[in-house]
Structure 1
Amino acid sequence: MDTHPFTIERTYNASVEKVWKAITDKEDMRQWYFDLQEFKPVVGFTFEFYGKGSSGQDMKHLCEVTEAVPPRKLVYSWRYEGYSGISYVTFELFPEASGTRLRLTHSGLETFPPLADFAKSNFAKGWTELMGSLLKSFVENNP
C-alpha cells in the first residue's frame, strides 16, 4: 500500500496575499474550488461540501481547519460522511521572484477504504485540475 502523501507544486503570477485570499475566502473559493456555504481560516472551524463520486453520486466532505498561519500555511482535515478514514490537506505558500509558489500536500489517503473513489490517482487528477488549471486561471486572470 502506498502511504506517501500526494504533493503538487505550482507557481502563479500573483502575490502571496492574492493566492492566500483565493484559498481562504469563501466567495473566491466558490469560483475555482467547491461551493462552500462558509469558510474561515481559523483553527477549529468546520466546513462541508459535496463532490461527485466516480459514478456520479454526491459525496459529502467533512473538514476542519487544524492549522492556519496567514498568509503562509493552511491545513484542514478531509474525510467523507459514511466512510472510515481521515486525511489532511496542507497548502503552503512561498514568495518567488515571479509570484507565488504553492505546495499542496494531501496526506492520509491510505486511511480511506480501498474503493476506486479513494484511489490516489483520483486525488492526483482532481488536485492537478484544481491547482494547475482552475486556481491558476483564477489568480492570474482576475484583478
Structure 2
Amino acid sequence: MTPAPSAIHCDQFLPHPPAAVWKALTDPDLHARWWAAGDVRPIVGHRFTLDMGPWGQQPCEVLTVDPERLLRYSFAEGNLDTTITWRLEPEGTGTRLFLTHEGFDLDSPLGRAAFEGMGEGWPHVLASLSKTLDQA
C-alpha cells in the first residue's frame, strides 16, 4: 500500500504588514531576490516558470488567489507535481506566513529526495524572505 503524499509545513512571523509580504510573494523582481526568478503573478490560471538554478526551470500555474491572504500554485509540473500554498494572517503589526508544500510522491526517488531537500531548504528560503523584506 502506498502512503499518502507528504507535505512540508512551515510558519514564520514577519514584522511587516500583509501588503508587504504579499508583494514579496507576487512581484517578480522581489521574488527573485529571496527565492527564484520567474514571472509569478497573482492571477488564477497564470502559467510561469521558476528558475531553480541547478534544478532547472520549473513550470507552475496559479491555482488560487485571495489578495494579501492566500496564494496557491502548482510547482514543477510534469516533474514533482507538487503544490505550494502561502497563507498570510495579520498578527499584531506584522504577518504570520504559513507555507505548505504538498503532493510529494515518497515512493519515487526524485519525490523523496525533493521532500527531504526542500524540508531542510524551506526554512532558509523563509529566512531569505525575511531579510529581503527588512531591506525593502
TM bucket by the smaller chain?
Answer: 0.7 to 0.9
Residue identity opposite 2:12 in structure 1: R
Unaligned ranges ≥5, structure 1: none
Deviations, residues 58-85 of structure 1 (Å, cap 9, x unaligned): 422110000000010000001255x3x4
- What is the distance in 1 between the residues matched to 2:133 and 2:108? 35
Alignment of 1:59-78 (within 5 A): 59-78=56-75
- What is the distance in 1 between the residues matched to 2:98 and 2:60? 19
Query: In the alignment, is the contact (CA less than 8 A) between 1:109 and 1:118 conserved in 2?
Result: no
- Identify the residue that residue 128 of structure 2 maps to in structure 1: 134
Query: In the alignment, is the contact (CA less than 8 A) between 1:75 and 1:88 conserved in 2?
Result: yes
**1:134/1:73 CA distance change after superposition, 3 Å:** same
**Which of 7, 10, 13 lines up with 1:11 in the alignment?**
13
**Which of 94, 100, 123 lines up with 1:99 in the alignment?**
94
- What is the distance in 1 between the residues matched to 2:118 and 2:62? 19
The 4+ residue runs of structure 1 with deviation greater than 2 A are 1-4, 57-60, 115-119
- What is the distance in 2 between the residues matched to 1:115 and 1:68? 29
TM-score for both structures, normalised by structure 1: 0.83
What is the Cα deviation at residue 128 of structure 1?
Answer: 1.0
Unaligned ranges ≥5, structure 2: none
- Number of matched residues? 134
The SS at the match of 1:130 is helix
Query: In the alignment, is the contact (CA less than 8 A) between 1:74 and 1:90 conserved in 2?
Result: yes
- What is the distance in 2 between the residues matched to 1:21 and 1:59? 25
Provide the aligned C-alpha RMSD in A.
2.1
